[in-house]
Amino acid sequence: MTQVHLAVVSTLSILPTLLTTEPDSPEAPESLTWDLPQLQQEGVLRVALPYDTVSLRDGALTSFEADLLGHVARDLQVELDVRPLGSIDAACRALTEGRIDAIGGFRTDAEAPESVVDLGCPTEWLTVSLEPFGQGVTSLAVRPSSDELRVTLGVWIESQDRLRRLVAHRHFGRVTPRPASLELSRYDGYFQAAGRHLGWDWRLLAAQAFQESSFDPAARSSSGALGLMQLLPGTAREVGTRQPLDPYQSVQGAARYLQRLQERWHGRVAHEDQLAFVLASYNVGPGHVEDAVRLAVANGEDGTRWNVVAYWLQAKTERGWADHPVVQYGACEGHKALHYVDSVLRRFANYRQLVPPAGSDVRVRPAA
C-alpha cells in the first residue's frame, strides 16, 4: 500500500525558475476560502514542481508527479496546469495567495522534507513512497486551509497503489533513463526560421503551435481550422497558404498572419501588452478584440491595456454586452481567448527555462 503521511512544515528552498517571472494573472482568491470546490469551479488544478524534476517530452512538461497528478485531475474533471517552481519567496506567495493549488516534487530520503526554511508559509505535506525505485519519497504540499483538497489527494493516492507503481515504473524503472531532448518538436527549424522573420523568439511560436495542435500537422478542429497552426481556410487564403496541412506552409502562413496582427496593434496599445492583443486576435479574431476595446472606451476605461480589454472581451460572452451599440461582431467565447493567451505565455516561459534559445543548440529534423 502506498505510504501517505501528513505533516505541517514550511516550504523548501529550491532552484529559482519560473514563478518569479510568470505572466500577470487575475486577482488571486482569498487563500482562506480557496479549496477543492473553488478549484473544480475554475476547472484547473495548478501545481508547481521543482525545475530539476521536470523534463520535456514532445513539447509537454512531464515528471512522475505531473503524470500522477494528471490522473488525479482527470478524475476530478479538471485540467492540470504544471508550472516549474520559481524562487522560494514566489512559491510561498503563489501558494498562500491561491495562484497555485499545490507545490511538490521534493524527493528526499526521509518521510518529510529535510531542507525546511521557515518563511512563515506553513503547508500540509503528503509524502508518497518511491523506495522500490530508489527515489526515497516525493512530497506534495497544499495550504492548511485547503482541507478538502488535502483529504481528496491523500485518499486518491492511497487508493491508487497500482497506478502509482505503473507511473513510477514509467519514470524510474529504466536502468538508464532516457534523457530529455533539447528539441521541442520535429518542426523546431520551421519555428526558428519564421521567428527570425517575425522578430519573435522561436520558442514563443512553438508554444503557440503546441497550444493550437499539440504539434499535430494533421489536426482539424470543429470550427474548420487546419494543421499545425490551426489556420482557418479563409485566413489561409488571405496569407497565401495553399496547403495548410503542410507543416512548413502552416508555420509560414501563421507568421504572416501574426505579422499583420502586430502591425494592426502596433502603436495603438501599451507596448508591453501588444503580444497579448496579438495572441488574442489570433485565437478569437481581431474584430472581437476591437469590440472589447470599444466597450472599454465606452465605459470610460483604458482600451490600450490588456487587463482592461480582457475583462470586456470576456464580457462579450454575455448577450447583454454582445448587443451593446459599439459591438460590431456579436458574442464570442472571450473566456477561451483569455485562457489561450495565458496558456501560450505560460508555456513560452516554461520553454525558455528548459530549451536553449540558439538554433545551433537544437537539431532540426525535416518534416515527414
Q: What is the pLDDT of residues 222-259, one digit of tens each?
A: 999 999 999 999 999 999 999 999 999 999 999 999 99
Farthest-apart Cα atoms in the chain, separation: 66
Say which residues have a Cβ less than 8 Å from residue 293's Cβ, sequence separation at least 6.
Answer: 303, 309, 312
* Residues 67, 144 within the same domain: yes
Number of domains in the chain: 2
* Residues 17, 166 within the same domain: yes
Pick the more confident residue, 11 or 138: 138
Task: Please indicate, yes or no, if residue 366 is contained in any of the structural domains.
Answer: no
300 in the Ramachandran plot: left (φ > 0), alpha (ψ -120 to 50) or beta? left
- Could you tell me the CATH number of the domain that includes residue 267? 1.10.530.10
Report residue 187 as a C-alpha cell: 518542426
Q: Which of 47-61, 250-264, 308-322 has the lowest mean pLDDT?
A: 47-61
Q: Are strands 44-49 and 102-108 parallel, antiparallel or unpaired?
A: parallel
* Residues 20, 71 within the same domain: yes
Highest mean pLDDT out of 35-39, 95-99, 119-123, 356-360: 35-39
* Residues 128, 203 within the same domain: no
Q: Is the pLDDT of residue 209 over 90?
A: yes
* Residues 168, 257 within the same domain: no
Instruction: Compute the distance between CA of residue 193 and CA of residue 177 in angstroms, rounded to an integer.
Output: 32
Q: Is the pLDDT of residue 219 over 70?
A: yes
* Residues 155, 195 within the same domain: no
pTM, rounded to two decimals = 0.63
Pick the more confident residue, 6 or 130: 130
* Residues 196, 345 within the same domain: yes
Task: Please indicate, yes or no, if residue 271 is contained in any of the structural domains.
Answer: yes
Task: Please indicate, yes or no, if residue 146 is contained in any of the structural domains.
Answer: yes
Nearest to 305 by CA among 18, 27, 24, 42: 24
- Could you tell me the CATH number of the domain that includes residue 126? 3.40.190.10
pLDDT of 241: 94
Active-site positions read: 212
* Residues 122, 200 within the same domain: no
Task: Please indicate, yes or no, if residue 367 is contained in any of the structural domains.
Answer: no
Find the mean pLDDT for residues 106-129.
52
* Residues 57, 195 within the same domain: no
* Residues 208, 100 within the same domain: no
* Residues 41, 141 within the same domain: yes
Q: How far is CA 281 from CA 259, 304, 312, 361, in A?
A: 12, 14, 14, 32
Could you give the angle at which helices 306-315 and 286-298 cross, rounded to 10 degrees? 100
Task: Please indicate, yes or no, if residue 66 is contained in any of the structural domains.
Answer: yes
Task: Please indicate, yes or no, if residue 84 is contained in any of the structural domains.
Answer: yes
DSSP 18: G
Task: Please indicate, yes or no, if residue 177 is contained in any of the structural domains.
Answer: no
Confidence band, pLDDT 50/70/90 cuts, at residue 14: very low
Structural domain containing residue 211: 188-361
Confidence band, pLDDT 50/70/90 cuts, at residue 114: very low
How confident is the model over 52-110, as pLDDT tens digits?
667 777 677 777 778 888 888 888 888 888 877 655 566 667 777 777 888 776 665 54
pLDDT of 307: 93
Pick the more confident residue, 67 or 262: 262
Q: Which of 172, 206, 228 is the last residue of a domain?
A: 172
Q: Is the pLDDT of residue 117 over 50?
A: no
* Residues 137, 278 within the same domain: no
Q: Which of 172, 197, 228 is the last residue of a domain?
A: 172
Task: Please indicate, yes or no, if residue 264 is contained in any of the structural domains.
Answer: yes
Confidence band, pLDDT 50/70/90 cuts, at residue 183: confident
